[in-house]
Amino acid sequence: MPDPYLDPDSKTQEAIEAMASRLEARGNHKTFLRMVENYGKTLPSNEPLTVLDLGCGTGIVIRQLAKMLDPSSKFYGADISAKLLGEAAKFSENDEIQWDHISTGSLPYADGTFDVIVMHTLLSHVPDPLAILAEAQRVLKKGGKLIVFDADHVSTTYNQADYETTRRIDSMLASAITIHPDICRQLPKLFKSSGYAITDHSVDIISECGKGDFWLSSVHAFAKLMPTIEALSEDEADKWLEYMLQSHEDGTFFASGTYYTFYAKSLL
Ligand SMILES: C[S@@+](CC[C@H](N)C(=O)[O-])C[C@H]1O[C@@H](n2cnc3c(N)ncnc32)[C@H](O)[C@@H]1O
């Protein structure tokens, strides 16, 4: 079951638009904006920085950082998907961000270019996260800051009528939408092997009990996506959606997930 973000440009225009609107809806949700704002606040806002958002998708993160940081900073958004970058350029209000279409492998930047690199829900979607970290390390300045934000997909849960169904669908979703649903648990080891020291980390547990909001938007998106990638049958996806909507209506909704932000500095 291929991760849809592994090679977005091989998907139909309809799928690209669905991914783009999903990334924008998620990224503009107050819960997500707060998490980006929290790591943005750890960066100095009164000195010019050179900042790369690697795997920027529609550019939601770099657009927000551009609003928070010194305006004479240089902002780059890089992605393997020309189609998602096309969407990013549409959402961009001005040309303060440089959008770079890159290939997997080496990055088109000189050694030591960036003060800061952000990877926001990238590493759970790439086949070789260690190679990405090592290449990012090359283009970071010595002592430069890497911020990696990702979901601990293996702990995301959407409660159903019985635990067996909950567990089966949670596990199906985790492996259908990512290559590495446990990336957060692997990151300390991966940082160590690629020349970084972890300087800090923070954890956000997003739980909704009674009514759904943030997670309800994922429920709608995944109920559509899962049958198209044959992760769930139409019937299973409909029943799953129906239970989540019903529990939201009657005030018994429960869904929860954990996001980690890692702060690391380049040692090389
Ligand atoms: C889940 S999306 C996240 C997009 C954006 N960071 C956000 O949070 O809205 C993952 C993105 O990583 C991109 N991607 C996948 N493999 C990549 C690679 N090797 N290098 C750069 N980007 C990659 C995909 O095209 C997609 O835009």
Q: Residue 94 has what pLDDT? A: 67
Degrees to nearest 5, angle at CA 145 with 142 and 149: 145
Q: pLDDT, tens digit, for every residue of 220-262? A: 888 887 887 778 889 999 999 999 999 999 999 999 999 999 9
Decide yes or no: CATH 3.30.360.10 for domain 8-152+180-206+259-266.
Answer: no
Q: Residue 129 has what pLDDT? A: 98
Residue with CA nearest ligand 1 atom 4 = 57
Asked whether the beta carbons of 198 and 133 are under 8 A apart, the reply is no
Where exactly are the structural domains of the chain? 8-152+180-206+259-266
* Backbone phi and psi for residue 119, each to the nearest 5 degrees, phi listed first: -125, 105
Q: Is the CB of 59 under 6 A from ligand 1?
A: no
Which of 256, 167, 247, 172 is closest to 211 using CA atoms? 247
What is the atom index within ligand 1 of the atom nearest the CA of 26? 9
Question: Is the model's pLDDT at 101 over the cut of 80?
Answer: yes
Q: Is the CB of 8 under 6 A from ligand 1?
A: yes
Q: Which of 32, 75, 125 to mutate to test the pocket of ligand 1 (most atoms within 8 A of CB)?
A: 125
Rounded to whole angstroms, how far apart are CA atoms 215 and 229? 20
Residue with CA nearest ligand 1 atom 13 = 55
What is the atom index within ligand 1 of the atom nearest the CA of 53? 6
Q: pLDDT, tens digit, for every residue of 192-229? A: 999 999 999 999 999 999 999 999 988 988 888 788 77
Q: Is the CB of 122 under 6 A from ligand 1?
A: yes
Q: Residue 1 has what pLDDT? A: 52
Q: Residue 53 has what pLDDT? A: 98
State in Å: Cα 150 to ligand 1 middle: 12
Q: Is the CB of 3 under 6 A from ligand 1?
A: no
Q: Residue 18 has what pLDDT? A: 76
Return all residues near 152 (Cβ < 8 A) that are at least 6 apart. 182, 184, 185, 257, 258, 259, 260
Rounded to whole angstroms, how far apart are CA atoms 1 and 177? 9
Largest CA distance in the chain: 56
Q: Is the CB of 62 under 6 A from ligand 1?
A: no
Following CA atoms 134, 39, 116, 53 in sequence, which dihedral angle do they give, to the nearest 10 degrees?
A: 70
Q: Residue 238 has what pLDDT? A: 94
Question: Is the model's pLDDT at 114 over the cut of 90?
Answer: yes
Amino acid at 6: L
- Name which residue leads in pLDDT, 93 or 86: 86
Say whether 95 sits in a helix, a strand or coil: coil
- Name which residue leads in pLDDT, 66 or 14: 66
- Name which residue leads in pLDDT, 1 or 151: 151
**98 strand-pairing partners:** 76
pTM score, whole prediction:
0.95
Q: Residue 2 has what pLDDT? A: 66
